[in-house]
Amino acid sequence: MSISWPDRVVTAATDCTDILQKAADQDWSVKARDSDWSCREVLDHTALGLVGYSGLLIAQPSDRFTGMLAGFNGQSIPVCLEGVRICATILASAVREADPQVRAFHPWGNSDGPGFAAMGILEMVVHTYDVTEAFGLDWLPADELCAPVVERLFPNAPTGHAPAETLLWCTGRIDLPGLPRRRDWGGWDGTVR
């Protein structure tokens, strides 16, 4: 049985926040892996993306972002992680409720419900990877979550590698055998296919 996009979004949020909870007592002002953002700022960015994608699916603008914002205003890390799960649930609901014909703006390709779900999963798993690397936690996102994201957002991705590693390569996080790390990966293709 195939897992729905909304269920994948919720599963990704659970997987990501469960591993990040292990670092809840650490100093989240440290920089995330290869980033100018602190680990704490990465959480805000992730929440903003999830809520923003929800707003786009609901408002359906064709040429701009919506005014949907999310942030944690200095809350504790456990409360922020709860917030990420809440934001993911909002996105999952928006994807579930979106008519298959809905299209909404994204600078990397106007998209539909499954496209925004894939973008939300990507945001959660790659930024969780960034934070776990900063804290020395051994973690990779689940291949079962990454495979459909790679298929949906990176139609020209290399084949023959584990889906999680392929997604991390596509987003400039790691190198693959025979493929150096992408330093300027430039985004994904969110268009409906």
**Mean pLDDT of each 10-residue bin along the chain, 193 residues long:** 92 98 97 94 95 95 85 91 97 97 96 98 98 98 98 96 98 95 90 93
pLDDT at 39: 97
Nearest CA among 37, 42, 66 for reference residue 53: 66
pLDDT at 71: 80
How far apart (Å, rounded) are the C-alpha atoms in residues 137 and 131?
A: 8
pLDDT at 66: 86
Question: Domain containing 87: what range?
Answer: 5-150
Q: Is residue 135 part of a domain?
A: yes
Tokens of 190: 């969110």
Burial class (CB within 10 angstroms; exposed 0-12, middle 13-18, buried 19+) of 186? exposed
CB 92 within 8 A of CB 117: yes
pLDDT at 1: 62
pTM, rounded to two decimals: 0.96
Tokens of 94: 């928006």
Q: Report the amino acid identity of residue 41.
A: E
3-class SS letters over 57-89: HHHCCCCCCCCCCCCCCCCCHHHHHHHHHHHHH
The Cβ of residue 156 has, within 10 Å, a number of other Cβ atoms equal to 6
Q: Is residue 155 part of a domain?
A: no
Q: How many domains are contained in the chain?
A: 1
CB 190 within 8 A of CB 109: yes
CA dihedral 78, 83, 89, 92 (to 10 degrees): -120
Q: Report the amino acid identity of residue 84.
A: V
Q: Is residue 106 part of a domain?
A: yes
> φ, ψ for residue 44 (rounded to 5)?
-60, -45
Query: Where do we find the tokens 């704490």?
Result: 40
Whichever domain contains 26, its CATH number is: 1.20.120.450
* Cα-only R_g, the chain: 16
